[in-house]
Amino acid sequence: MTDRYAVIGNPISHSKSPLIHGAFAQQTAQDIAYTALEGPLDGFAGAVHAFRDAGGRGMNVTAPFKLQAFTLATDRLERAELAGATNALKFEGDRIWADNFDGVGLVNDIQRNLGVALVGKRVLLLGAGGAVRGALLPFLAEQPAALVIANRTAEKATALAAAFSGRGRITGCGFGDLAGERFDVVLNATSASLKAELPAVPASVFTGAVLAYELVYGKGLTPFLRLAQNAGVPRLADGVGMLVEQAAEAFVWWRGVRPETAPVIARMTVPLV
């Protein structure tokens, strides 16, 4: 019998997840159906239960439901617990398991696909929202020399850094505190690029950097990537690889089979011009 999975969000029509999981299923000969579900803004839990009761095996969760999915779960894996958010659910009898693959997807894209090892590097993460929360544990596990979180609302970054301080060398600050600081890897995990805005960071953060990474995908050269390019950063990337890699982790979790990500990333990449 065909096993059913879905991504739930609101809105959801833009989601690439059905395309990605469809490609993975074809590649690995898994008999699954993967659809996109628009969850009602006031009825997330009901929609998840209805999907599970109709035989659903698992779900991806996207905005604005990542926090509600965390609350709904009966069991959470450590990454989801520490992130306070989940992007994947697995149904087993009465149990709803929650994990968060956003961070590990990002780290896998940087290290495996882009070939940049994070160990010993100075890493700057711009933003302090859900994507950053999910990324902190996987980043710290790679033992960077320093992990700095900088956010428009500085207090959110310092609070987040304090919460993870037992896990590695991490600090939080506002954008203004970055003057004179240099990093090897700079990531834009703010949502500024969705509105074609630029986080107010000094261009000097890019001096000597090997990689600038924009989590938003499919938007070409965003103001952040353009600033990095003008500062001479040799490698620029957007979040398409992160999206496909987090999907691959969920696929392995659900199906026990690892799909190949490279052909799917290649198919979905919008050139950075």
Q: Summarize as ranges the residues that interact with ligand NDP (CB under 6 A).
A: 102, 127-132, 151-153, 156, 189-192, 194, 197, 199, 215-217, 239, 242-243, 246
Catalytic option among 66, 90, 121, 156: 66
Nearer to ligand NDP, 96 or 243 (CB): 243
- Closest residue to ligand NDP, Cβ-based? 129
Nearest to 85 by CA among 182, 77, 20: 77
Q: How far is the CB of 76 from ligand NDP (least distance, A)?
A: 18
Q: How far is the CB of 248 from ligand NDP (least distance, A)?
A: 12
Give the contacts of 28 (CB within 8 A, at least 6 positions apart): 251, 255, 257, 259
CA-CA distance, 127 to 138, in Å (whole number)? 16
Q: How far is the CB of 29 from ligand NDP (least distance, A)?
A: 26
Amino acid at 142: E
Nearer to ligand NDP, 95 or 147 (CB): 147
Exposed, middle or buried by CB within 10 Å (0-12, 13-18, 19+), for 167?
A: middle
How far is the CA of 62 from the CAs of 38, 49, 196, in angstroms? 10, 16, 21
Q: How far is the CB of 142 from ligand NDP (least distance, A)?
A: 18
Nearer to ligand NDP, 110 or 128 (CB): 128
Catalytic-residue membership of 156: no
Nearer to ligand NDP, 68 or 191 (CB): 191
Nearer to ligand NDP, 178 or 216 (CB): 216
Output 254-260 pairs: Cβ under 8 A, ≥24 positions apart: 254/5, 254/57, 254/58, 254/90, 255/28, 255/30, 255/32, 257/28, 257/30, 259/23, 259/24, 259/27, 259/28, 260/27
Q: Does residue 84 come out as left (phi exceeding 0), alpha (psi in the -120 to 50 range) or beta? A: left
Which position has the token pair 């999915």?
Answer: 69
Nearest to 149 by CA among 121, 175, 172, 182: 172
Element (H, E) at 17: helix 17-28
Nearer to ligand NDP, 216 or 236 (CB): 216
User: Which residues are marked as active site?
Assistant: 66
